[in-house]
Structure 1
Amino acid sequence: MSEDDTIAPAPQPTSEENRHASWLELFFDLVAVAGVAQIAHLLHGVPDMSDLGLYALLFLAFWTAWIVFTLYANVAYENTHVRTVLAAMFGMAVMAAAVPGVHEGDDQHARVFALAYVLIRGLASRAWQHRRQILVDWPAAQMSLGVIPWIVSLWTHDPTRHWLWALGIALDLYVTFAVSARDIVERQGARERHDDRPARRGSARGPSLARSQTEHLSERLSLFVLIVLGEGVAQVVEATSDAEWDKKLCVLAVAAFFLLAALWALSFEHGYAGVPHLTAGVLPSRAGLPLHCFVSGCLAALAAALGAAAGHLDTLPDATRWLLCSSLAGYFLLSGLAWLGKAERERRWLLSVALPCCALPLLLAAFGAHVHTVTVVWLLVLIALWPILYERMVTKSPKGVVGTAT
């Protein structure tokens, strides 16, 4: 029997194009707004390496909690258990509320954050067990290996606790890339064949394989990136509303808006599922989902840096300048990885666009200590606009061919 014979496709509406995020899913995504905002606040002021490391760790945990239920609703469709999703939503809200305390080293808040994460993952695992399905795209969604270090962390303190959380995330990534969903099904089937207990009435022995519905998942992933970009606007609005409105601040606000607008265009007009230069069907979900996570993390970090820039209108502190520039460099590095997945990739594009867009922000971070804040942001705007302008120029050229995103 082939793998495709055992795959149970997600329930489909009349037309895949007609399926959009439900009201429950949109309500669920609102929690992502609170979570991203709280986690982005970890980078306010002048963040150090420990702040950046904690930000990356908490963002990965929050995104993981979000994606496991995003995938569940994607596959379950009309059979989604509302109470289960609402319970997960409450758990994510608790995680978001605990973030400031985790940053301050409060043991109680850290334990609550870890406990909420463990319960969310347990709910997801139970939901998949009820469906008797193994998700091909993301097997870690229903496996508990990566949760074990989080459980152990409930009885530890910083910094051991944080290392255990990082181990849990690493184990999830290992499961995602190293474990075959079909192998999981075969092991589960072998276990049940040795189980003498009769199967439950009306249920078949052994789980089946399931795949996510591509277009619906793309919409959910895109909504998450929109949330992150919206957080960037909120950061700038919050920072400028409390400051004295002078010429420098106004010019900076305009530059920040243009930068976010350029990133929106790259992620949606020239990308797919919020990932710039990605085309539908080019990468498997196992590669595309981590790419989405890291792109979102870079954008959230950039949003926090833009908010901090409004408080330093003359020159940026070194840490803030590095955060702002390296976040944009990371965004373009990931877009270059997405482009490499295309069959029609061009070396010229990598040399003319990907390389300079990654290198120039880092050069600005390294040598821009005396460059005015407004100038730094406008230079980043020009860097962000360059891939769009390059694509238009090559597309108009009769000899140039550029792969565009759907």
Structure 2
Amino acid sequence: MSDDDTTAPAPNPTSEENRHASWLELFFDLVAVAGVAQIAHLLHGVPDVSDLGLYALLFLAFWTAWICFTLYANVAYENTHVRTVLAAMFGMAVMAAAVPGVHEGDDQHARVFALAYILIRALASRAWQHRRQILVDWPAAQMSLGVIPWTVSLWAHDPLRHWLWALGIALDLYVTFAVSARDLVEHQEARERRGDRPARRGSAGSTSFARSQTEHLSERLGLFVLIVLGEGVAQVVAATSDAEWDKQLYALAVAAFFLLATLWALSFGHGYAGVPHLAAGVLPARAALPLHCFVSGCLAALAAALGAAAEHLETLPDATRWLLCSSLAGYFLLSGIAWLGRAGRERRWLLCVALPCCVLPLLLAAFGAHVRTVTVVWLLVLIALWPILYERRSSLGRLSARKRRDR
């Protein structure tokens, strides 16, 4: 068997429900650990607006590269080409290694980052062409429109380079939401009829649709969120290991752990695929995947802020306090968006839970300049706990009302 025909070994599932991430997929996700850690380090110290913009841009690029091959392995399953996935894994590792140089404005590192991204996208497009399938859930995974600005950026310098990268990401989002899968199929079939792209030997005569397998994809998305939460723990551990251990540090470490544990409970016990208050099957993948990306980005930024908090035990610098509080506010804003798709939703939930959880962290950021660091983090813990306590109280109220009716 040739390298091109090598596929990832996996058991044949009897149903979609008992399919889990393969060893190859788990190995691939380890690269996400390195990438998230490198990108989160951009927010160390006292980040300014340019640092936040670069963080968002690189995180979106890294997540896009990751989701392209996550969806490929999800659909291809036992026909996943090992060599293709390993090549993408190496490219993502190169992207992660180049992040510090990109932050420092090094042209060589920036070009390497862009070139690795371009090659990963080309690999993803080639993989789908080989399968002769159109991915309905994320058509940008196989289209090159968003890659064009990245290619042009190889000859550009900062800040134009960064604006071209942002344009590429924006074009990918446009393709995802504006271009239907049927349009893509008709376009490709028209090209084949003109002879622009002859069918591969041994392939089917027409292009087919491909959809992701929901349960397996939710597992992969959840694993990515776990990686990001784990990065938060790693940030706190690294910061506290070098500091002088005293009562303030102990209290901050406990508060940071409680905050991360509460967000874990919200994302998985009260959410789906790592997105809080998202219900299975409510939103199409085209809408759920951007939610997952932005939730992960907020959690990674919060993780970096927690690491910085351990270095400022008295009071937080303004930039760090705003990063910590606005990351949590963004997390709950996305939670509210996910909740809007739930069946049987109550309008009261928006006023009693979503609104205060978005507003209170921002008020704390605006007026908490003289609040001690430990107090800030514990207040954020209380805010994060409120949706869980509210839902528990509502459940107990409904149970009591049902019992009274039964009597």
**TM-score, with structure 2 as normaliser:** 0.94
Q: How many matched pairs?
A: 391
Q: Given that residues 394 and 400 in structure 1 are in contact (C-alpha distance below 8 angstroms), is that contact kept between their aligned partners in structure 2?
A: no
Aligned to 1:3: none
Q: CA deviation at 1:200?
A: 4.1
Distance of 2:400 and 2:40 partners within structure 1: 40
Q: Which amino acid aligns with 1:335?
A: S
Q: Spell out the pairing of 1:2-401 with structure 2 (5 A cutoff).
A: 13-195=13-195, 199-398=199-398
Q: Given that residues 75 and 210 in structure 1 are in contact (C-alpha distance below 8 angstroms), is that contact kept between their aligned partners in structure 2?
A: yes
Q: CA 1:121/1:334 → structure 2, altered by over 3 Å: closer, same or farther?
A: same
Distance of 1:332 and 1:89 partners within structure 2: 32
Q: CA 1:149/1:243 → structure 2, altered by over 3 Å: closer, same or farther?
A: same
Match of 1:154, SS state, is helix
Match of 1:163, SS state, is helix
CA RMSD of aligned residues (A): 1.4
Q: CA deviation at 1:202?
A: 2.7
Q: Given that residues 188 and 206 in structure 1 are in contact (C-alpha distance below 8 angstroms), is that contact kept between their aligned partners in structure 2?
A: no
Distance of 1:318 and 1:400 partners within structure 2: 46
Q: Given that residues 102 and 109 in structure 2 are in contact (C-alpha distance below 8 angstroms), is that contact kept between their aligned partners in structure 1?
A: yes
Match of 2:94, SS state, is helix
Q: Which amino acid aligns with 1:362?
A: L
Distance of 2:398 and 2:199 partners within structure 1: 65
Q: CA deviation at 1:399?
A: 7.5
Q: CA deviation at 1:201?
A: 3.8
Distance of 1:230 and 1:194 partners within structure 2: 51
Q: CA 1:324/1:400 → structure 2, altered by over 3 Å: closer, same or farther?
A: farther
Match of 1:397, SS state, is helix
Q: Given that residues 191 and 197 in structure 2 are in contact (C-alpha distance below 8 angstroms), is that contact kept between their aligned partners in structure 1?
A: no
Q: CA deviation at 1:398?
A: 2.6
Q: Which amino acid aligns with 1:245?
A: W
Match of 1:209, SS state, is strand
Distance of 1:203 and 1:88 partners within structure 2: 24
Match of 1:245, SS state, is coil
Query: Structure 1 unaligned runs (5+)?
Result: 1-10, 402-406
Match of 1:145, SS state, is coil
C-alpha distance after superposition, 1:336-357 (max 9, x if no partner):
0000011311110000000000
Q: CA 1:198/1:397 → structure 2, altered by over 3 Å: closer, same or farther?
A: closer
C-alpha distance after superposition, 1:202-248 (max 9, x if no partner):
32333111000000000000000000000000000000000000000
**TM-score, with structure 1 as normaliser:** 0.94
Q: Which amino acid aligns with 1:15?
A: S
Q: CA 1:242/1:197 → structure 2, altered by over 3 Å: closer, same or farther?
A: closer
Q: CA deviation at 1:327?
A: 0.0
C-alpha distance after superposition, 1:111-157 (max 9, x if no partner):
00000000000000000000000000000010000000000000000
Distance of 2:57 and 2:198 partners within structure 1: 43
